[in-house]
Amino acid sequence: MYSNEEYLLELLTESGLIADRDLQQAKTTKKPTETLLECLIKTGVVSDEQVAQTVAVNSGMEYVDLNGFAVNPSLKGLVPMEVAQRYKVVPIGINGTALQVAVADPYDFETLDSLPHVLQPDLEIFCSTPALIKTVQANIYGNEIFGDAVTKSGGGASDGDAPIIKLVTNTLMEAFKNGTSDIHIEPLEKDVRVRFRIDGVLNDVEHHPKRLHSSIIARIKIMCGSMSIDEKRVPQDGRIQMAFNGKELDMRVSVIPTNNGESVVMRVLDKSSLRLGLSDLGFLSDDQDTFEKLITLPDGIVLVTGPTGSGKTTTLYACLNFINRPDRKIITVEDPVEYELAGINQVMVKEDVGMSFGAALKAILRQAPNIIMIGEIRDLETASIAIEASLTGHLVFSTLHTNDAPGSVARLADIGVKPFLIASAVRGILAQRLVRKLCSECKQPSGLSERELRSLGLEASQLFNATIMGPNGCNKCRQRGYKGRMVIAEIFKVDDEVRNMINQQLTTPQLRKRARELGMRTLREDGVRKVLAGMTTAEEVIEATMADGE
């Protein structure tokens, strides 16, 4: 009710409004869910108004009686509903350029410090009772104040909302319209830069005056609901869930302090990717057939490798969608759980309470799953449990951070896994990268330069039956020439011969050479096929597969 109730009770006692015997009686009669002050007000020892007036006098604020307060509809737009709800505040008037508001708890210093940032700097703050504040909120916002808002975690914005609310909301809406995967809000020396990552490429889209920076960050923190507005010294993480044009949108938010102020990155979690099949990811038919055979084996480990941002998690989800049936129990261990998958049990890692990957894996093995997905194999404990599970009849999916598929063998050995266990457990490894797809509406015939031919290992004669295409630009792709991304992949199958090589502890180059002799295509070779098919460009493939060209 009040953030400093003990001090307030002392004030009320000193002023003679309550006696020691009243306090003692309240201690014996109050309900477990009540505070002492609530009990005193309920039993009529002291009134709401007397408490609020005492608070106002001792905090240097003016008390305002909101009984019968006439609602001015224009005030609604000056204090957004989510701000009113979170800070227990209502707008009550305008005095020149100053916005007049009433608060329920003048001892809540976080609220008093935050309001100038989330509303406007020129404020006149009054005190009223919590009950009257709620009544006026209900009169101003109607049913909205009970949570029927656009933003699930922190409220939404309407046409009448304050300028900062509109600015942030418009930025988010524009990002969604453009198919943005990450929104970057970065404080520079003299302004605030907003960038969108679209199809893997950062685009500079907006610059705002530096004076707006703290208000923009405060608004984003409010939308997250779990972040402290006043804490600016340490990183914070949160989540925003919104509805836009009937579509549910989800963002993972990271705030970190920099030398110019707090920087924000909002990762847009596109739930439409949950419905993607392997063919939607960009696999050509032969690779898709090979990979489908791997992920439908009864046991063993299937790994997906690549750097951060290469689409590994999306590929794993596509695998789970492909093999998910009512007669199979699938459990995932993730850090964090980004998407909820229908019909699949998902466990989130929580290191602070001892729920590590290893601890979670030990627990879920007692749940008798058929299939296990581990977000990432990071250490020997996780790897050992995953291998044990695969050798006892479970199919295990996971990821590793390696540059290519054969390199995963050395990576597992580096963290302490014995070669014979790697050979026994691993069934196949997929290495992947993402390249931008040419827009199907506006791509146009193109050619390859001598440099591109050399980089891709092609001869001019190999282009006779090819369909080389290049970017153009249209309204569908917003003049970029590209729309969406797809996988280029190499699939390393672990057969009997490869198992023998792993047991003999052959080096990664030796494994790679033998795998290619057995038919494995490299990342660049798969990219070349997609360039020749007119799906992407040589530039995209060369940039994504620099290591292959060395």
Question: Is 64 found in the same domain as 169?
Answer: no
CATH number, domain with residue 69: 3.30.300.160
| Residues 137, 103: Cα–Cα separation, whole Å | 11
In a domain, 474, yes or no: no
> How do residues 262-285 score in pLDDT, each as one tens digit?
999 999 887 666 667 788 898 999
Question: Is 424 found in the same domain as 308?
Answer: yes
Question: Is 413 found in the same domain as 514?
Answer: yes
The total number of structural domains in the chain stands at 3
Question: Is 140 found in the same domain as 70?
Answer: yes
Residue 148 makes CB contacts below 8 A (sequence gap 6+) with none
Q: Which domain holds residue 64?
A: 5-144
In a domain, 444, yes or no: no
List the single range of 87-101, 159-173, 242-256, 407-421 with lowest mean pLDDT.
Answer: 159-173
| φ, ψ dihedrals at 445, nearest 5° | -55, 140
398-432: burial string, b at 16+ Cβ within 10 Å, e else: bbbbbbbbbbbbbbbbeeebebebbbbbbbbbbbb
Question: Is 171 found in the same domain as 48?
Answer: no
Boundary (domain end) residue, out of 144, 174, 195: 144
Question: Is 169 found in the same domain as 236?
Answer: yes
| Residues 270, 284: Cα–Cα separation, whole Å | 23
Boundary (domain end) residue, out of 238, 269, 300: 269
Boundary (domain end) residue, out of 110, 144, 178: 144
- Locus of tokens 């610059």: 207
118 membership: H or E segment, kind and range: helix 109-118
Q: Is the pLDDT of residue 146 over 50?
A: no
Query: What is the band of 359 on the pLDDT scale with cuts at 50, 70, 90?
Result: confident
In a domain, 454, yes or no: no
Computed over every residue of the chain, the mean pLDDT equals: 87
| Residues 243, 492: Cα–Cα separation, whole Å | 42
Question: Is 306 found in the same domain as 215?
Answer: no
Predicted local distance difference test score (pLDDT) of residue 444: 95
Q: Beta strands of 16-141 (E only): which ranges?
A: 89-95, 98-103, 123-127
Question: Is 493 found in the same domain as 356?
Answer: yes
In a domain, 473, yes or no: no
State the pTM of this model: 0.68
User: How many Cα atoms occupy the beta-carbon half-sphere of 518 within 13 Å?
Assistant: 16
In a domain, 449, yes or no: no
Q: Beta strands of 335-445 (E only): which ranges?
A: 345-348, 371-374, 395-400, 426-438, 444-445
Q: Is the pLDDT of residue 339 over 80?
A: no
Query: Which tokens belong to 327?
Result: 């007669």
Q: Which of 45-54, 176-185, 279-288, 294-303 has the highest mean pLDDT?
A: 294-303
CATH number, domain with residue 376: 3.40.50.300
My answer on whether omega of the bond before 91 falls inside 30° of 0, hence cis, is no
Strand-pair partners of 358? none
Q: Is the pLDDT of residue 3 over 50?
A: yes
> How do residues 492-502 score in pLDDT, each as one tens digit?
999 999 999 99
Question: Is 132 found in the same domain as 185?
Answer: no
Average pLDDT over residues 229-253: 83
User: What is the DSSP secondary structure assignment for residue 151, as one 8-state letter?
Assistant: B
Question: Is 327 found in the same domain as 388?
Answer: yes
Q: Beta strands of 285-394 (E only): which ranges?
A: 300-305, 330-334, 345-348, 371-374
Strand-pair partners of 348? 334
In a domain, 535, yes or no: no
Question: Is 400 found in the same domain as 516?
Answer: yes
Question: Is 358 found in the same domain as 315?
Answer: yes
CATH number, domain with residue 263: 3.30.450.90
In a domain, 155, yes or no: no
In a domain, 336, yes or no: yes
SS3 content of the chain, % helix, strand, coil (to 5): 40, 25, 35
